[in-house]
Amino acid sequence: MEKLTNKDFSSDQEVRWCPGCGDYAILRAMQKSLPLLNRKKEDFIFISGIGCSSRFPYYMDTYGFHSIHGRAPAFATGMKLANPNLSVWQITGDGDALAIGGNHFIHALRRNIDINILLFNNEIYGLTKGQFSPTSKKGIKTKSNPHGTTDEPFSPSDLSLGAKSSFFARVVDTNPKLMQKIFVEAEAHKGTSLIEILQNCVIFNDKTFSSITGKEVKKDAQLILEHGKPILYGDTMNKGIVLNKFKLETVIIGENGITIDDILVHDAYEQDSTLHAMLARMRPPEFPAALGVIRSVKRSTFDSDMNSQIDYEKRNAKFNNVNELLFSGDTWNV
C-alpha cells in the first residue's frame, strides 16, 4: 500500500474557521492520524451535520458529506451498512449532536454501529452566533437568554453511557498528541467510538474550559487515564484517585499512609459502566477532569450482526434471484 502523509488528507479548500479556533488543532491531529491507520485513502469517509465543526469534511481530502442539522448519525449508519469496508468518521458539535440530533445520537450508540463520532463540545452555538447549547453551564448569559440560562446542561458522558456507549474517550483541543492516540484507538474499536473533545470557541465562549486547560492549572486539573494503570495525576504524578464508600476521592501518595497500592487501577474494559461514569463526571476544582479512553468494551456491532444475518440467509436461501421469488408460491397458467 502506498505510504500516505498528512498532506494527502488536506483538501484544496480554504479553511474558514475563526483565527484561534480550537478546530484547527483537531483538523491537524486528524490529518496526522489517518496515515497511521494503514488504510487506503479512498476508504475514509467524513460525515457531518450543521455547525462550525460540521465544515470539517470540506477540509479533508477524503470522501465527505456535509449533511443536515443533527442527522449525521443516520447518514453514517446508511454509509456503514451500504459498505462495511469504509472507515466512517462523524463530526458533530454539542448543538448538532445533543439538541437537534439527540435522537439519532443515542440510537447510534445503542446500536453500536461501527463508526467514530467526534463530538466537538464548546458549550455554545457558534455558527448561529452565540446562543446557549445543551451543554452550556446553567446560568450563563447569552443572546437568547440575556438573564441567564435556566436550562440544566447535559453531561455528554452520562448521556452516552446511558445509551450503552461501548467506547467513550475525552480529550482537550490543546493536546494534539493525545488526540492522535485516541483517534487511532477509536478506529481500532469495533462499534461506535465516541470522543468528546473539549474545544474552545474564541468568539462566543472563550476560556470556558480554562479551569481544565489553563497553563497554570492543567497539571492538577487533567488526569489522563490508561487502561491497566493506576489513576495518577499532578506535576510529579504523586496524586491519585481512590474509591471510598462508593465515592471517588483524591489522595496524595505518602500522606495519611496512602501508597500506590491504594490507588484505583483503570479498567476501561469493564462492562459495568458505573465507575466509568463516576470518573467521567470528575471536574475541577474538586477533581481533575478525566481524559483519555474512559471506556472501551467489547459488544457486537449492528453492521456485523446485520451482515451475518444476510450471509446466513443467503446460504440457506429458498430463492437465489428475483425471478425465483416472483414465480414462487401459488401461481396459475392461462
Partner 1 sequence: MNNSKVVDLEKVVIKFAGDSGDGMQLTGTQFTDTSALLGNDLATFPDYPAEIRAPQGTVAGVSGFQIHIGRIDINTPGDIADVLVAMNPAALKANKNFIKKGGSIIVNIDSFNQRDFDKAGYEKSPLEDNSFEGYNIIEAPITKLTRETLKDSKLDGKSIGRAKNMFALGIVYWMFNRPMQQTESFLKAKFKKSPELVEANIKVMHAGYNFADTIEALSSSYTVLSAKLPKGTYRNVMGNQAMSWGFLAAAENAKKELFLGSYPITPASDILHELAKHKNLGVKTFQAEDEIAGICSAIGASFCGSLAITTTSGPGLALKGEAIGLAIMTELPLVVVDVQRGGPSTGLPTKTEQSDLMQALYGRNGESPAVVLASSTPANCFDWAYQASKITLEHNTPVILLSDGYLGNGAEPWKIKSTNDMPKINPNVAKEEDNYFPYARDKKTFSRKIAIPGTKGLEHRLGGLEKEDITGNVSYDPENHEKMCKIRSEKINRLSNIIPEQKIYGKESGNLLVVGWGGTFGSLYSAVGALLKDDNSVGLCHFNYINPLPSNTKEILSKFKRIVVCELNAGQFANYLRMNFQGFVFEQYNKLQGFPFTSIELEAHFKSLLSK
**Interacting residues with partner 1 (CB under 8 A):** 11, 13, 40-43, 45, 47, 50, 57-58, 60-68, 71, 73-79, 81-83, 85-86, 103-104, 107, 306, 309-310, 313-314, 316-323, 325-327, 329-334
| Least gap, CB of 263 to partner 1 (angstroms) | 41
Residues facing residue 222 across a β-bridge? 289
CA–CA gap between residue 176 and residue 107 (Å, rounded): 29
CB atoms within 10 A of CB 306: 15
Closest to partner 1 by CB, 81 vs 265, is 81
| Least gap, CB of 67 to partner 1 (angstroms) | 6
Closest to partner 1 by CB, 75 vs 209, is 75
| Least gap, CB of 313 to partner 1 (angstroms) | 4
CB atoms within 10 A of CB 137: 12
| Least gap, CB of 334 to partner 1 (angstroms) | 5
Residue 285: is the preceding peptide bond cis (ω within 30°)?
Answer: yes
| Least gap, CB of 49 to partner 1 (angstroms) | 10
| Least gap, CB of 149 to partner 1 (angstroms) | 27
Torsion of CA 303, 113, 87, 43, to 10 degrees: 40
Q: Strand pairing of 63-66 and 116-121?
A: unpaired
- Closest Cα to residue 197, out of 135, 259, 140? 135
CA–CA gap between residue 236 and residue 271 (Å, rounded): 31
CA–CA gap between residue 256 and residue 267 (Å, rounded): 26
CA–CA gap between residue 292 and residue 198 (Å, rounded): 12
Closest to partner 1 by CB, 117 vs 291, is 117
CA–CA gap between residue 253 and residue 127 (Å, rounded): 46
- Closest Cα to residue 37, out of 197, 178, 180, 226? 180
CA–CA gap between residue 239 and residue 154 (Å, rounded): 29
| Least gap, CB of 36 to partner 1 (angstroms) | 19
Q: Do 46 and 89 contact (CB within 8 A), yes or no?
A: yes
Closest to partner 1 by CB, 40 vs 207, is 40
Residue whose grid cell is 446500536: 111
Q: Which of helix, strand or coil describes residue 194? A: strand
Q: What is the DSSP letter of 127?
A: T
Closest to partner 1 by CB, 74 vs 172, is 74
| Least gap, CB of 124 to partner 1 (angstroms) | 22
Q: Do 85 and 43 contact (CB within 8 A), yes or no?
A: yes
Closest to partner 1 by CB, 101 vs 292, is 101
Closest to partner 1 by CB, 55 vs 266, is 55
Closest to partner 1 by CB, 159 vs 264, is 159
| Least gap, CB of 110 to partner 1 (angstroms) | 9
Closest to partner 1 by CB, 204 vs 302, is 302
